[in-house]
Amino acid sequence: MSEIEAMGHIYANAYLTIAASIANGSNDGFLRPRDNPYFSAPIPSPGGGMADVKWSFQGRGHLNSSKMVLTKSEKYKTLKSFEPLYSRGWTFQEAMLSRRTLFFSFFQPYFVCQASCRAGGDPSPEEYFNAVEMGEMFSPIAKGAASPSRYQAPGTMDLGYEWPWVAENYSSRILSVLDDKALAIGAIKDRYVKEYGEYISGSWSQNLVVDLLWSTDKRHPRTDDEVRLFGTQYCRGSIKSLPSWTWLSFDGSVRFEVIWHAFYLGKIRHIGDISTRIQVTRIPTADNFGRVTGEPLRLRGGMKRVLVIPPKGPGWQNRPQSLSCYEPKIWDDATGSYVVEVMTKSAVLEARIGEAVMDDFVVETPMRERGEMTELELIKAFDSGHDYDARPRILDCFIVAMVGGRSGNQALVTKPRGYSLVRQGDQIAYGLLLEDVPGSGGNKKRRIGLFRSNEGIGFYFDDAVETEFDIE
């Protein structure tokens, strides 16, 4: 354990770190002959003049704008599939903390230091590091900026918080030992302690409102033997030995919703634009790696219930990753049935208030369907995907933050096929979907998913009940 704690100092004080990006393991070689697949030649531009174009010799690999590599077999693969280094959890710290690194890649060597990036040809450092999903870290210095990168989208202002990118990149890397999840990022978090305050299980006390709002993206593939080896601490992608509220508890890549959905869509320009709706009444004690050692995190804020209709076929037990959330008013608990008027008119979209992204899903939802469906696609999904004969699930929704604002009175917006939806402004609410810990009487809860409201539906939570609880 002492050697793990010293890794940050080892990399930071090393004169040069050699990163064998193309090696599958310590026994693989990486000093093999390479042919750079590109050459440059100008061609006439449609707008006049000449344009410099990159060409590839037939039969050699080349990198396209979608981060894919075309090989001699003429089949596209992601560049990361050729560069195993960027998929391993323990190697993230060497890229983040080393002062100088020489990467031996599929194409050519790349040299990176705190002032610049260098390569002997194409792809450029910026193209290469974007393709292996390290662009946020290396692109600015590849362009000549002599400072570490910040979490920012092209053409926008700095968000003021770099950690979400660090967490997303680390989460996309796989570890063979689940207990290493909190350890392999330990040296990296030391770099941010002075700036972000107290570190607890992958999150920072000063920016907890952002760190809580993560959603599952892609689960890491695991063999049956691995699942058996993990035992009871692993269940459908959830690591039970870690608190349910931390992104570290998901064995796969995550996204920070308030960043992707609000920052990149232009609803916020800085972390200070996020309206916090919670109070942290207890910060857990933690060891040097951020692992919780004392009483659990305790939160206070508004709680309101939302309804999820089980999908046809798989049902709730085998639920998909993404589900629509509705107002509970469409269900009559006394009769044990849905409200007849709503169902016969198929106007339930009027009661659709947002989306749930589940933590322990069974069926992964394609990215196209997550928060990007058109109104007609939503209608089709509802009409064909819900099991009206099954009892719905009523979930506690704890509102963590809101972005956007309200302008004017509530408006009835008419949709295709007679659907209608009440909206006010462009405010979006983000929250945690929770369930009670058995035997706790509702005083202890665990996270089961993330909630994101429809645009303009923030007012639905105005009458949320103030609630204080432990979250495990």
Q: Which 8-state DSSP code applies to residue 452?
A: E
> Edge to edge, what strands does the sheet with 68-70 contain?
62-63, 68-70, 76-78
Cα separation, 382 vs 26, in Å, equals: 51
pLDDT at 211: 95
pLDDT at 456: 86
pLDDT at 217: 92
pLDDT values of the chain reduced to their tens digit, one per residue, 472 residues = 677 777 778 888 899 999 988 888 777 877 776 655 555 667 777 777 777 665 554 444 455 545 556 555 556 667 777 788 888 999 898 888 888 999 998 888 899 888 888 888 777 888 888 888 887 666 444 444 433 333 343 333 467 788 998 999 999 999 999 999 999 998 888 888 888 989 999 999 999 999 999 999 999 999 999 999 999 989 989 999 999 999 999 999 999 988 877 777 777 778 888 889 999 999 999 998 999 999 999 999 999 999 998 887 767 777 888 888 998 988 888 888 887 555 544 556 677 899 999 998 876 665 444 444 454 454 444 444 677 788 889 999 999 999 887 765 555 555 443 445 566 677 899 999 999 999 999 899 999 999 999 888 888 999 999 999 999 9
pLDDT at 315: 72
What are the beta bridge partners of residue 110? Answer: 103, 119
The radius of gyration of the chain's CA atoms, rounded to the nearest angstrom, is 24
pLDDT at 173: 94
What are the beta bridge partners of residue 15? Answer: none
Q: Which amino acid is present at 314? A: P
pLDDT at 106: 80
Q: Supply the pTM of this predicted model.
A: 0.82
pLDDT at 249: 97
Q: Which of 360, 364, 370, 365 shows the shortest CA–CA distance to 317?
A: 360
Helices 163-171 + 135-142 axis angle, to 10: 120
- Token pair of 253 as six digits: 């890549």
Give yes or no for a contact between 72 and 60, defined as CB atoms under 8 angstroms apart: yes
Cα separation, 432 vs 333, in Å, equals: 24
Q: Region of 80 please: left (phi>0), alpha (psi -120 to 50) or beta.
A: alpha
pLDDT at 185: 92
Give yes or no for a contact between 316 and 386, defined as CB atoms under 8 angstroms apart: no
